[in-house]
Structure 1
Amino acid sequence: MTKILYQQDTYLLTHTTRLLQVTLMDPKTVTVVVDETIFHPQGGGQPTDIGCIRSLKSGACMVVDMVKLNNATGLVEHRGKMKDDLILSEGEEVILEVDEPSRKLHARLHSAGHLIHHAIQALGLPLQKTKSYHFPDSPCIECEIIDPNFDKSPVGLSSIQLKIEDLCNKWIAEGHETSITLCQRKDMDDSRLSEKARSSEMVRFIGFNGIPNPRPCGGTHVKNVLDIGKFFIRKVASKGNAIKISYACPC
């Protein structure tokens, strides 16, 4: 099982570790497994980290373009292409380097998505989150409407948009620090957990000090909601018994 380091420190962008497995996919493409990783794998509504893995001995460099967690083995698999004719060898020490701009953007988007969910709860809206998408191209939160009398008119949706946006920006301006808590899974209601979390002994919760109801999450987040920066709700749209809240965190 790969030891995960990014869950303790979103801003840990370089780390030296040992290369455990190297699989050649084609003459230039390889998949590698390391003992410890700072790369966030794609999943949980968050895109893959990108960056490079470099040999400390030979200087061989692999440009990482996709990272995935193998749920069956617990190994994090890093895929990419070699920059030159040099190769990576099993057992050698390598330095991991995560691309800083994309890591920070993903953390901002993920934390903003959590704030939207907290705002839905704080405002008492009859919505149950069903899906989160924190990719830069079109981040959004999708929810099921649990009240048949919910106002889905343009005026009603516009009102919800303003209320959520105002509350999220209020929290951002207040500067709530992010909290990370590990809890025993056996003491929890499994209905709140993902399939992966249900198979874990410990579950990681992300919260923001002063805002109720931390949420189970394995992703990367800002240290303080101030770091989310600019934030707005692009659109709130309804379809059937669901609504989609699209948002943005421009640079």
Structure 2
Amino acid sequence: MTEKLYYNDAYLEKSKAHVLAVKERYDDEHSALILDKTIFFPTGGGQPGDIGTITSLAEGASTSNKDAPYSASVPKTIEISNTIIQRTATGREDIYHLYPSSDDGVISQWAKARTSVEIVLDFSRRYRLMRMHTALHVLCAVVPYPVTGGAIRIDKSHLDFDTSAGGTLDKAQITEKLNALVKQNFTVTTYTLKAADFLEKRRHMPSLVRTASVSPPVDAAGNIRLVQIGPQSNLIDLQACGGTHVRALGEIDFITVKKIENKGKHNRRVRLTID
């Protein structure tokens, strides 16, 4: 199982790791690299997977297999075009870093020697996704309806709301409320609860899971991750989420609601972007 360094620090731009395995020909064009740890976030919860580069270390790699030491005379860099998560039949989660299958000849040797590599994230892209993802949490705080779907993208993002309880959504009013919260620069923190504790908390706070069709993220230890905006004494938003977020709302800068669309009798799609 891959250690998820992005949960410890979403701002890490580079790190070192060891290659555990290679899955050749994951699809027609890509193979997958599995590492012992990663800063690359895999596609999930509406957030796209990270991209970047992985380079073998020319000075030689430390390895737990002392019978097969590895020393790379020339470093090799591969482009990672996407990161996804795969669950095995036993429930183990592997994070696949997808690279061009044309590099299989060299990369297959990495796994045999547990090659040490440097991971470099396309952080400008990730940081914008972090800001976008956090902006959607703020949107949840402003629009008090159940969420029926959503997507996070570089240029624009959206959430769909079930407004069957009544009421209307006004683009200008929502934009004003969003930026009033951003301006106060509330902190964004994360913590985990054991599944039983989470279920008990959810009985009193159903909004912990805003999208009914999506199961809350559960880690290997059976814990559920929560993202909280604001202090407990002035709680802005609290919900289960497995994505990456900024540390404070001021980092989002400015949110603009671009459009509110009808997607059914009671379904409304709120599209937004950030400066």
Which bin holds the TM-score, normalised by the shorter protein?
0.7 to 0.9
Find out whether 1:141 has 2:159 as its counterpart.
yes
C-alpha deviation, 1:85, in angstroms: 9.1
Question: How far is the alpha carbon of 1:27 from its aligned partner?
Answer: 11
SS of equivalent to 2:245 = coil
Distance 1:144 1:220, change over 3 A: same
1:215 corresponds in structure 2 to: 239
Instruction: Assess if the C-alpha contact under 8 Å between 2:218 and 2:225 holds in 1.
Output: no
2:263 paired with 1:243 = no
Query: Alpha-carbon deviation of 1:240?
Result: 1.4
Kept in 2: contact 1:5–1:37 (CA 8 A): yes
**1:12 counterpart residue number:** 12
| Pairing of 1:7-86 with structure 2 (within 5 A) | 7-25=7-25, 29-57=30-58, 58=72, 59-72=75-88, 73-81=92-100
Q: CA RMSD in A?
A: 2.4
The structure with more strand, counted as a fraction of residues: 1
Distance 2:250 2:56 in 1: 37
Task: State the distance in 1 between where 2:219 and 2:19 align.
Answer: 26
Counting aligned pairs with the same residue, the percent is 22
**What is the distance in 2 between the residues matched to 1:92 and 1:112?**
39
CA deviation after TM superposition for structure 1 residue 29, in Å: 4.1
Amino acid at match of 2:215: E
Q: Distance in 1 between matches of 2:29 and 2:117?
A: 18
Partner amino acid for 1:166? E
**CA–CA distance in structure 2, aligned partners of residues 101 and 213 of structure 1:** 26
For the residue of structure 2 that corresponds to 1:48, the secondary structure is coil
User: SS in structure 1 opposite 2:6?
Assistant: coil
Superposition pairs of residues 157-196 of structure 1, within 5 angstroms: 157=169, 160-189=170-199, 192=208, 194-195=214-215
User: 8 Å contact 2:42–2:84 — kept in the other structure?
Assistant: yes
Q: Which runs of 5+ in 2 are unaligned?
A: 59-71
Report the TM-score when normalising by structure 1.
0.86
State the aligned residue count. 237
CA distance in 1: counterparts of 2:190 and 2:7, whole angstroms:
9
**Whole-Å separation in 2 of the counterparts to 1:80 and 1:198:** 27
CA gap 1:85/1:144 in 2 versus in 1, 3 angstroms = closer
1:107 and 2:130 equivalent?
yes
Q: CA deviation at 1:28?
A: 8.0
Q: Which runs of 5+ in 1 are unaligned?
A: 122-126, 152-156
